[in-house]
Structures are given as structure tokens and as C-alpha cells.
Amino acid sequence: MKIISYNLNGIRAATTKGFINWLEEESPDVICIQETKAQIDQMPTFELNTIGYDCYYFSAQKKGYSGVAILSKTKPDQVIYGMGIEKYDNEGRIIRADYGDLSIISVYHPSGTSGEHRQDFKMQWLSDFQNYIQELSKTRKELIICGDYNICHREIDIHDPKGNAKNSGFLPEEREWIDGFINSGYTDSFRHIYPQERHKYTWWSYRHNSRNNNKGWRIDYCMVSNNIKERIKSADILADIKHSDHCPVSLIIQ
């Protein structure tokens, strides 16, 4: 099974940049999307159906904001929208598709860059999200959790660790959360394949010619529950794909 996670920073904008043609050519079995920034009636559903994908969307109440989706070539057994906590579900942050014993999640973790209030919201979300996943794992033991985590884990995951040490997305408490999440039973699939690879990023600021200079952050992950990590065949960062300020990350699992 080939799975891709991709923060599109607006599915309508990405579509005008060739996203659907690329998707047809890349042909993953499942693609997890974050930041659709669209309501259901604004999605390119007809075009996605035409190239073989069933579409499942969970949009934010606020128009043009957040939103996640799962596009799948195989119809899931069931799709679960949200995590049952209103303040998060109103922002369209998580969607899950079940395929037999396997569950695939598309998640968009909050950013804390807009101020202290949103950073506090982010930290509370991280705590509640981990509790949600821990409870879910009691009944859904094979989990693949794909998405924009808005956190760089280690110094090798960011172009300037010293300069960003006090910035949201690389704060000590955020990095500690990633440590704790991984230690609770999950594998960062990219690091499983490339444990020490440097200069591999998934997001670049639109400012200062950051992408051309590869001054980026690795904040997008496909996390895999440890009980299926030996089924990981490959994982990659598709940095040359440019429909967004993020790039896709891929996972092939047996």
C-alpha cells in the first residue's frame, strides 16, 4: 500500500498548479490531505472521482481555514470524522479511515505562530490528541497517523536549530511531546529508513527564497504504530513536488 501525506495549503489553489494531474501520475492508494481550506461544495470531487478516488472531507466551520481529507482508491470499511472534542472538530483537524485491521489518519496539528493564545491551544491539543490516540489504540491497534504535525523533532530536521530555538514548531516542550509520542509506541517512518539524513525538509517559508535555498523544516510525518513498523518498505520526502509551501511525504507499507 502506497500512502502519501500532503499539506496542500488550499486544495483549490493546488489544483490550479497541477495537483490532480500529479496525483493521477503518482497514483498512491491513499492520500491524506491537510489544509484543504475549502467546504465540501468547493472541492474538486468530480475530477478526483474521475481519476479513481473516493473522497472523504472534514472541513472547518470557518471558511477558507484548516480542513483535512482522505482520498482513497479502495472504499474504507468506515470513515470517522473528528475526535469528539468540539473545539477541535470545529477546526476540521482529524479524519480516520479503517481498512480491515488497519486505520489511516489524516491530521493537521495547530500552529502556534500567531501568538501565545494559539500556542497554548496547540499544547492542549497535543495532550488531548495523544490521549485520543492512546484510547483509540485499544481497539484499533494498527495505526498510520499522517499529517502536518507543525513540529520539528530534532536539530537535523530544521535548517537553523539555534536561530529557531525559541520559535513555535521547535520549542523544547514541543520536541519533548514528539519524543513522548514516539516512545508511546510509534515510529517516524522517514527516520526508520533514513535515521541520520540531513537537509530533508517538508515545509519552506515563502519568504527569503527559502525553498530555493533549502532553508526548511521537516514537520510532516507518517507515524506508524510499532506493531507494524517491520512492514515499512520505503519512506520518502518528495521535495521536488511544488503545489504548496509543503511537499508530499510518502510511505509504502506491506
For residues 193-205, give the mean pLDDT: 97
At 116 the pLDDT is 95
**Whole-model pTM?**
0.97
Mean pLDDT of the chain: 98
What cell does 76 get?
474504507
- Give the whole-angstrom CA distance, residue 184 versus residue 136: 13
- Give the whole-angstrom CA distance, residue 108 versus residue 111: 9
At 152 the pLDDT is 98
Residue 236 pLDDT grade (very low, low, confident, very high; cuts 50, 70, 90): very high
At 197 the pLDDT is 96
For residues 9-31, give the mean pLDDT: 98
What cell does 168 get?
513555535
Residue 208 pLDDT grade (very low, low, confident, very high; cuts 50, 70, 90): very high
Helices and strands of the chain, counted as H and E runs: 7, 14
Report whether 12 contacts 44 (CB < 8 A).
yes
- Comparing 137 with 114, the larger pLDDT belongs to 137
CA nearest to 104, candidates 90, 94, 114, 89: 94
Enumerate the active-site residues.
108, 148
CA separation, residue 3 to residues 33, 64, 112 (Å): 11, 26, 27
CA dihedral angle for residue 251, residue 107, residue 171, residue 226, rounded to 10 degrees: -50
- Percent helix, strand, coil in the chain, to 5, is 30, 30, 45
At 221 the pLDDT is 98
* pLDDT tens per residue across span 137-168: 999 999 999 999 999 999 999 999 999 999 99
Percentage of residues in the chain having pLDDT higher than 70: 100
Which 3 state secondary structure label does DSSP give 11?
Answer: helix
Domains of the chain, with CATH numbers? 2-253 (3.60.10.10)
Residue 55 CA to its chain's centroid (Å): 17
At 65 the pLDDT is 97
- Give the whole-angstrom CA distance, residue 117 versus residue 110: 12
Q: How is 113-174 classified by DSSP, letter by letter?
A: TT-HHHHHHHHHHHHHHHHHHHHHTTT--EEEEEEE-----SGGGBS-TTTTTTSTTS-HHH
- Give the whole-angstrom CA distance, residue 107 versus residue 97: 12
Report whether 38 contacts 59 (CB < 8 A).
yes
